[in-house]
Chain A
Amino acid sequence: MKKIAVVNGVRTPFIKAWSLFDRMPAQKLGTLCVTELLQRTEIDPNLIDEVIIGCVGQPIDAANVARVISLQAGIPKNKRAYTVNRNCASGFEAVTSAFEKISLGFDDIVIAGGAESMSNAPLVFSKEAAGMFMKLQRAKTLMEKLAVISGFRPKHFAPVAALSLALTDPTCGLNMGQTAEVVAKKFAISRERQDAFALESHKRVVASRQKLREEMMSVFIPPKFDISATDDNGVRENLTMEQLAKLKPVFDKRSGTVTAGNSSQITDGACALLLMEESKAQSLGYEILGTIAAYDYVGLEPSEMGMGPAFVIERILRKAGLALKDIDLFEINEAFAAQVLASCDALASKKFAEENFPGGQAIGQINPDILNVNGGGIALGHPVGVTGARLVLTCLKEMKRRGLKRGLVSLCIGGGQGGGILLERN
């Protein structure tokens, strides 16, 4: 089987929504990243066969945002590009699609990544209101127009944020935070554990700032370019348990434990990775970051979507014939502290294994010292279409720094799925 390598990658800083990147749509963020990747790898754009970009909230003014990014980054017009959406795992999906395309010989060299501007999620009008606006546009005479206008009611002018719609699972009727509450209650993850985990995430990001810069580019903010974003700006330097404890639960106001402080942030960003066969990379003279040894996706109960990592980690290890101790570094995306902790607990639980895993054997306790060593989504933010690609990049760079052999990155996926990628370095 071909060995598919991640040659290099780069991402923008992850920037809190409605702040520095407020005016930069996903296509712009993606273009900056892909351009920078082309420059840093000094690859001839003519060699790029395809650009695959994960994006959940596709910009309404840039259908197939991957194509827009590809062209604006100066990749020749006769090259291909498409956008993928596997909700929170869209960044993964881009990478695994690239893996598939290269493995099957459809592509030789692919840029895969994600681009997401949660700041630019549109406000939408109800279907009823949209119908009225359409009628108004079609009305020809003044009388017809007046007739339509007289039909408008105040409720028609109240738009709904597409973002909140997107973060709600229509099949179980819960939004993502509510699924985290479900998991927290079912697996009894206390508020204190969640807050402590969140605090650790922030601490680790602060400590890793210099390291994280290695995977990042600076972004000058147009149109004036007088400010540049050089670091992730969601992290809080002097956060304390007391401050976290003060926050009120958001999704279950009475007896809930999930707060804004122990959930991931709403964030803008982009990430791009260069993938090709390992032998190809060698022939082009590249020193690679690592290879993709395996990957998988699983389906599970949508209202417990946060358990996705537990299921997918078990499955990947089982299929690769590996044990927990064979993995040197873990990344589990921090959508919610509750969901990461519950997944870890589940992997260590004999009872959970008997009920859910084919072998019935518990996988074991993941050592917290090798889990999300540079922090995660709680401190960095979780631009949904991008995170998957970032996890791959962050993990590979850390494996390189530490000289490690295997890393396993995973995340939970809204709608009830889990995704994971096994990374290797020689």
Chain B
Amino acid sequence: MPNAWKLLVENGIGNLVFDCPDTEVNILTSERLKALDTILDEIASNQALKALLVTSAKNRIFIAGADIKEIEGIQVKKDAFEKAEQGKKIFQKLEDLKIPTICVINGACLGGGYELALACRYRLACFSNNVKIGLPEVNLGILPGFGGSIRLPRRIGLLKALPMILAGRIVSAEDALKNKMVDHLYPEKTLLEDAKRFAQMVVKRGGFSRRAKKDAMTWFLEDTFIGRAIVFSKAKKDVLKKTKGVYPAPLEIIKLISKTVGRKGAAVYRLESEHFSNLGTTEVSKNLIKVFFLSEKYKKFRWTDSAVAADGIQKCGVVGAGVMGGGIAQLVSYRDIPVRVKDLNEKALAGALKEAMGIYKSALKKRKIKKHELENKMGLISTSLDNSGLKNSGMVIEAVVEDLGIKQKVFHELGDLTSPEVILASNTSSLSVTKMAESCRYPERVVGLHFFNPVNRMPLVEVIRAAKTSAETLEKTILFSRRLGKTVIVVEDKPGFLVNRLLLPYLNEAAYLLEDGISPFEIDTLAEKFGMPMGPIELADQVGIDVGYKVAHILQEAFGDRMKVASILEVVKKQGLLGKKSGKGFYVYKGRQKFANPEVKLNFSTKKVAAEDARKRMIYIMINEAARCLEEKVIDSAATVDIGMIMGTGFPPFRGGLLRYADSVGLANIVKDLERFQNQVDAKRFEPSAYLRELAKKGGTFYS
């Protein structure tokens, strides 16, 4: 195999070019690291060299990082330690070179790539959207192990480095310059020439520095014992609040940096390798890596073999200006696509505008957009009480109330109004898209497009293939959804589709547990400890008891007694306790606090349910239903279930996904527990599906 590293010398300036053969991406495998080691020895002994540039021969990529497959393969702690040591020794060699070293960042520079950059004396980058810089290791359940955890705090200060590593944040060239993660930016076209000139300048002047003075507060927090203690304790508190302690990597990072910050010598690097090895073999990390590959795969997954290359949608219509309609309008306008919102009710239209404005204002506050962008994007949303402006939309998304009759009327009207190439999509969460299409002219352009609430934040959409949906319609809808920044799963037109069909039984089971005498706090804590972002009871309040009840009923009608709605839901709904929107549901909400609602009469039974059983009942009921979905071919694979549940419900990624988790528990164990629950709790709800029984009997797994 040809060497990925090549040294070119010109006027005493060395240019070490990284160019991984036979690929478009530069990745640091251990083999390439070894090759780097060899070439660095040559460079060190080359007396003629006055300075060294490190560059990439790839177009939009400097170095995308270390080889994730290799990290995934690490099985024992010692290997993890060795791997980190090997890499950082080579980077140390780079740092120890006597001549100035200049890293020339022309594109993505992530993880191990940026750790290499940090080992250089200077970092230059270019004005280009391709430049993305950061240490995202934490997202894979590990920490920067090639010296990055040590060098970044040194380069940019603890206050900036710590949150950067803890969040695995990736920044633009401009932000990297502001943060001093790079020293200078040049035009993309002349980056290499400018870097060479920069090298000559450094050689001539003997250095380059743009260190600014620290203000007193920064000095106190970064350079005093007490200050640092405050920083680390605050960081730990934030992490625990955000992750509930189920992710070990951020905590390990805080531990490591608190031990190493401000210290010199080889020992700190060794510490980094040790802490890396604590994480490198964990199941959490393995699962996160699997989920990373999964989400990469689903970004581009080919769901159809349609040859359509672009959605061609230049304008979008939305019918129904509720919370979902408003959210969809905001999302569409955010991608600079004009959107026309229709509703029969002026108040609803105003609500949609308010919803969109609220999202934009909070983005403005978080500096995700600028003031002029808010004006431009809000300007793309217009409202109407009639059908004007819908006819020339590329897609019209229906988001009216969940009532089949009303939806059919809307589709009938839209079908007559629009020409056959206009895609008509329903944002229904559980009703039959096929039945809606029946009322419509040219039903092959009717499709389901199920967004999740809140639309701007939930990364998943379910694209529903109705009986007559054409491949072209499906593909265009998928492409459009991706343009909106969403991950797509394609689901067959069965009640509840995938996510709600699994999620509702989970919420329903939580309600049964309430009836069994467990407090809402206990139930929510159990789920949160498992890793769910929010407990089921609070989630029910968030979604709205009336909404949840309605969907639950649709599912009961479709699937019979195994989805029988817990009676407490009906009681609470009749009491008018609708959840967060009405201030009261299972909890009472006051400001940011919540209390168990005394109006909800609990203790229907005094059976004592063990905590472990309670958790199993909630999770296994989903697994069992997912098996049925696979059996009925509602979705194509276990991976689709996992990506759907992670992105659609926040199912904990560190578990690897619902069905990967099931595999790790063992399907036979799950069937056994389900059978036990059949005897102890309910024969229908926990009846193991044929598919699951079969797999368990064979000793198989969902993923095999």
Name A's B-contacting residues (CB within 8 A): 28, 31-32, 35-36, 38-40, 42-45, 71-74, 218, 220, 222-226, 228
Contacts and interface: CB of A to CB of B under 8 A. Distances in A.
Interface stretch (B188-196, B375-383, B476-484): B375-383
B350 A74 contact: no
B656 to A, nearest CB: 43
B350 A223 contact: no
B525 interface: no
Interface string B340-383: 10000010011101100100010000000000000110111011
B354 A226 contact: yes
Contact of B376 (A32, A71, A218, A225): A71
Contacts, number: 56
B12 to A, nearest CB: 45
Interface string B320-352: 000000000000000010101000001001110
A367 to B, nearest CB: 36
Given A72-B375, A218-B346, A223-B357, 4 more contacts: A35-B379, A35-B380, A40-B388, A228-B346
B130 interface: no
B353 A225 contact: yes
Nearest to B376: A72
Interface in B373-423: 375-376, 378-380, 382-384, 388-389, 391-392
Nearest to B350: A225
Contacts of A73: 379
Contact of A220 (B350, B379, B388, B392): B350
Contacts of A45: 338
B146 to A, nearest CB: 44
Given A222-B353, A225-B357, A42 B389 contact: yes
B379 A222 contact: no
Given A35-B379, A73-B379, A42 B391 contact: yes
A38 B354 CA distance: 22
Nearest to B337: A74
Contacts of A224: 354
Contacts of B336: 74
A34 to B, nearest CB: 9
Nearest to A218: B346
A36 B382 contact: yes
Interface residues of B, number: 24
A40 to B, nearest CB: 5
Nearest to A43: B392
Nearest to B352: A225
Q: Which of A36, A43, A225 has the most CB of B within 10 A?
A: A225
A74 B379 contact: yes
A40 B357 CA distance: 23
Q: Main SS of the interface on chain A? A: mixed
Contact of B379 (A44, A72, A223, A225): A72
A42 B336 CA distance: 18
A217 to B, nearest CB: 9
A344 B665 CA distance: 93
Contacts of B346: 218, 228
Contacts of A228: 346, 350
Contacts of A226: 350, 354
A421 B379 CA distance: 32
Given A42-B392, A225-B354, A74 B349 contact: no
6 contacts: A28-B379, A39-B340, A39-B389, A43-B392, A44-B392, A224-B354
Interface string B601-645: 000000000000000000000000000000000000000000000
A409 to B, nearest CB: 26
A333 B265 CA distance: 85
Nearest to A42: B392
A223 B349 CA distance: 14
B362 to A, nearest CB: 12
Contacts of A223: 357, 361
B392 A35 contact: no
A38 B381 CA distance: 12
Contacts of A218: 346
B360 to A, nearest CB: 10
A112 to B, nearest CB: 19
A44 B350 CA distance: 26
B98 to A, nearest CB: 45
Nearest to B393: A42
A287 to B, nearest CB: 14
Q: Which of A28, A43, A228 has the most CB of B within 10 A?
A: A228
A222 B351 CA distance: 11
Contacts of A42: 388-389, 391-392
Nearest to B347: A226
A36 B156 CA distance: 50
Contacts of B383: 220
> What are the 6 A-B residue pairs with the smallest beta carbon separation, nearest first?
A39-B389, A72-B379, A225-B350, A225-B353, A42-B392, A74-B338
Nearest to A27: B375
A313 B380 CA distance: 41
A82 to B, nearest CB: 19
A28 B372 CA distance: 12
